[in-house]
């Protein structure tokens, strides 16, 4: 089963790849090839029993302290691996409602911080309903009397029109340390920020949004930034191109923003810093975009960026490791690149960012990283692999 890939221009190649087929109505893991590369001296990658072979795995999450692994398939299902066994009944199946052309799909989901009492799960997907096809949608679902199945239908939380191109949807919904729901959105697609959304505070595209979903309809938190245009104060930050993945670690926010033809970037900021402008399309990474010089006043530049040499094309952001199994990774931000499959770690100190690459490790074609209920991390790949980082 194929999946759209990011091109060397940092966009998903929606021109040549077909839509993801809907697949079976049950959760079924197929076969996959063994991981081809040697392992690191600091960690190794281990196939997850019951989950390896799921088609196009795109996100992996779990409530804190929960041993189950909840794995989203891009086609629109969330499956559960429990005690090394894949449960046949999906936790959620909305595949009939999910648009999978281009960069579409069920892209991410997040358990409410009070999931143990509220039972709420927030699911981020791209809509396929005629007339609204391509819209970015987040819906809230509630667990049923069966703890392994969500009730349907869900309740719409937010809808963001995105109908001009089928790439740059962003891709991540996640709760911050303050209990607010964050959502990353791409700049509307195409290339060169052609629709002008990223620097437009009146648009929800090319942004990081922050909303209060303690009750619905959602509220705009009173400490959100106030932008010049009334009615778009859901926007927490602007100037992003395609922030497919981001992660919180304590008081820090890490954003992996996919670049265009030259640079991939990691932004690391205080999670409470509101109203930042990450620069796209004035900047691409640390370089001016489309010009020899540019005005950088008021822009937040990345702590680290890298070029597209040696086949690199698109950053796949991960997490800061806070598990207990691998002491060598403690406190390190782990990330990869779609086209080369490297594993790199980043740490930020007083002297700036330090980046290390595991020279013998290659994960193939990474689609996303995941994190379980105990802080251990995983990488999900286009080869239908679900791989866990474990001690060597």
3-state secondary structure the chain: CCCCCECCCCCECCCCCCCCCCCCCCCCCCCCCCCCCCCCCCCEEEECCCCCCCCCEEEEECCCCCCCEEEEECCCEEEEEECCEECCCCCEECHHHECCCCCCCEEEEEECCCHHHHCEEEEEEEECCCCCCCCEEEEEEEECCCCCCECCCCEEEEEECCCCCCCCCCCEEEECCCCCEEEECCCCCCCCCCCCCCCCCCCCCCCEEEEECCCCCCECCCCCCCCCCCCCCCEEEECCCCCCEEEEECCEEEEEECCCCCEEEEEEEECCCCCEECCCCCEECCEECCCCCCCCCCCCCCCEEEECHHHCCCEECCCECCCCCCHHHCCCEEEEECCCCCEEEEEEECCEEEEEECCCCCCCCEEEEEECCCCCEEEEECCCCEEEEECC
Q: Among residues of the chain, what percentage have pLDDT more than 90?
A: 88
pLDDT at position 7 over 50: no
The predicted structure's pLDDT at residue 31: 84
Least confident of 15-24, 119-128, 264-273: 15-24
Structural domain boundaries of the chain?
Answer: 53-318+379-384
| Average pLDDT, integer, range 333-343 | 97
Least confident of 70-74, 178-182, 358-362, 368-372: 358-362
375 or 25, greater pLDDT: 375
The predicted structure's pLDDT at residue 13: 37
Give the confidence band of 123 by pLDDT, cuts at 50, 70, 90.
Answer: very high
The predicted structure's pLDDT at residue 24: 53
The predicted structure's pLDDT at residue 38: 80
The predicted structure's pLDDT at residue 232: 85
Least confident of 29-33, 153-157, 342-346: 29-33
The predicted structure's pLDDT at residue 39: 85
Fold of 53-318+379-384: Neuraminidase (2.120.10)
């Amino acid at each position: 089963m194929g999946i759209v890939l990011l091109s060397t221009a940092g966009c998903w190649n929606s021109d040549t790849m077909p839509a993801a087929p809907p697949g079976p109505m049950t959760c079924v893991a197929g076969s996959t090839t063994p991981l081809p590369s040697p392992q690191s001296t600091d960690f190794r990658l281990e196939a997850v029993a019951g989950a390896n072979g799921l088609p196009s795995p795109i996100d992996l999450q779990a409530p804190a302290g929960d041993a189950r692994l909840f794995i989203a398939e891009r086609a629109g299902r969330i499956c559960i691996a429990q005690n090394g066994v894949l449960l046949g009944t999906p936790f959620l199946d909305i595949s009939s409602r999910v648009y999978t052309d281009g960069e579409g799909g069920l892209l991410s989901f997040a358990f409410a911080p009070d999931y143990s009492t509220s039972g709420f799960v927030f699911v981020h997907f791209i809509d396929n309903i005629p007339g609204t096809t391509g819209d970015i949608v987040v819906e809230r679902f509630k667990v049923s009397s069966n703890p392994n199945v969500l009730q349907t239908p869900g309740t719409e939380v937010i809808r963001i029109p995105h109908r001009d191109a089928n790439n740059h949807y962003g891709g991540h919904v996640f709760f911050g340390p303050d209990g607010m729901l964050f959502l990353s959105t791409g700049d509307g697609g195409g290339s060169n920020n052609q629709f002008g959304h990223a620097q437009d505070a009146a648009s929800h595209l090319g942004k990081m949004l922050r909303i209060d979903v303690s009750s619905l309809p959602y509220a705009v938190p009173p400490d959100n930034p106030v932008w010049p245009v009334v009615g778009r104060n859901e926007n927490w930050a602007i100037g992003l191109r395609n922030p497919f993945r981001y992660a919180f670690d304590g008081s820090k926010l890490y954003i992996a923003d996919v670049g265009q033809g030259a640079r991939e970037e990691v932004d690391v900021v205080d999670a409470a810093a509101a109203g930042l402008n990450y620069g796209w399309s004035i900047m691409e990474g640390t370089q001016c975009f489309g010009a020899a010089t540019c005005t950088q006043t008021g822009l937040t530049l990345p702590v680290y960026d890298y070029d597209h040499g040696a086949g690199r094309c698109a950053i796949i952001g991960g997490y800061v490791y806070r598990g207990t199994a691998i002491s060598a990774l403690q406190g390190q931000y782990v990330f990869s690149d779609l086209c080369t499959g490297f594993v790199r770690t980043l740490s930020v100190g007083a002297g700036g960012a330090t980046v290390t690459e595991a020279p013998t490790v290659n994960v193939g074609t990474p689609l996303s990283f995941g994190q379980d209920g105990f802080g251990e991390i995983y990488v999900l790949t286009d080869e239908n692999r679900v791989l866990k980082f474990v001690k060597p």
